[in-house]
């Protein structure tokens, strides 16, 4: 069973690595060809939607103990990104050409083409120390870039369109709150929810790099 689970995780992480590398290639290729950030969603949006939706498997992996991450933090990250991507970017065509989409896609893609290969190689037990270091260091600047000028700024820019289109009606999941008001509240809460994930990654970084350092000393 451990061998089968490792094989499954290796295949999952490898496929995600390939998918996000392709997404980044498409986004940057369109930028080079058009000299514009406007085509980011047109070039890779649907692919990124599929990749991000598939990441729900990581919540399941944590919930059933396949990986030690648990389910809560992966669920917070997955739900935040998926809502942003499917409900706002995919749902509002007027925001798809904004620079914030390009910034978000590049930041996400760079993060994932570092994270997933590190996971995949760790499943094999042969992950170079520099990849582990990069995995637990690159997030320090990639996550804030994806969050502030990317996700939060785009949600703010989307508010007039949400209000104008009366998007998703006057109630959300049966609650007496409009989607417009929900996004306003979400924007207020977003930095605090994001900070919880960000600080958790610093704890992970300290633990992983100290563990790696101890392993080198023993060698």
Residues 35-70: tens digit of each pLDDT: 999 999 999 999 999 999 999 999 999 999 999 888
- Has 116 been annotated as catalytic? no
Catalytic residue among 41, 116, 136, 143: 143
* Range 89-99 average pLDDT: 96
Residues 106-164: tens digit of each pLDDT: 999 999 999 999 999 999 888 899 999 999 999 999 999 999 999 999 999 999 999 99
Q: How many domains does the chain have?
A: 1
Domain that holds residue 88: 2-218
Q: Quick one: which of 110, 101, 91, 77 has its CA closest to 152?
A: 101
- Has 143 been annotated as catalytic? yes
Q: Give me the helix-helix angle, 99-124 and 153-165, nearest 10°.
A: 120
Tell me the pLDDT band of 216, cut-offs 50, 70 and 90: low
- Please report, to the nearest 10 degrees, the dihedral formed by the alpha carbons of residues 182, 155, 162, 92 taken in order: -130
What's the token pair of residue 33?
A: 């060809």
pTM: 0.92
Tell me the pLDDT band of 2, cut-offs 50, 70 and 90: low
Total count of residues recorded for the chain = 219
Catalytic residue among 119, 151, 179, 180: 151
Residues 170-182: tens digit of each pLDDT: 777 677 789 999 9
């Amino acid at each position: 069973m451990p061998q089968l689970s490792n094989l499954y995780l290796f295949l999952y992480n490898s496929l995600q690595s390939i998918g996000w590398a392709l997404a980044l290639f498409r986004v940057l290729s369109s930028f080079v060809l058009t000299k514009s950030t406007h085509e980011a969603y047109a070039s890779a949006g649907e692919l990124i939607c599929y990749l991000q939706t598939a990441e729900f498997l990581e919540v399941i992996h944590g919930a059933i103990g396949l990986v030690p991450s648990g389910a809560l933090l992966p669920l917070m990250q997955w739900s935040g990104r998926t809502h942003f991507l499917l409900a706002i970017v995919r749902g509002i065509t007027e925001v798809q050409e904004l620079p914030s989409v390009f910034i978000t896609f590049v930041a996400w893609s760079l993060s994932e083409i570092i994270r997933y290969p590190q996971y995949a190689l760790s499943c094999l037990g042969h992950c170079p120390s520099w990849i582990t270091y990069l995995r637990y260091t690159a997030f320090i600047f990639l996550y804030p870039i994806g969050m502030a000028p990317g996700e939060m700024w785009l949600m703010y820019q989307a508010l007039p369109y949400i209000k104008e289109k009366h998007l998703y009606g006057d109630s959300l999941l049966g609650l007496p709150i409009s989607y417009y008001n929900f996004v306003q509240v979400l924007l207020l809460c977003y930095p605090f929810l994001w900070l919880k994930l960000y600080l958790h990654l610093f704890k992970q970084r300290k633990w992983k790099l100290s563990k790696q350092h101890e392993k080198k000393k023993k060698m």
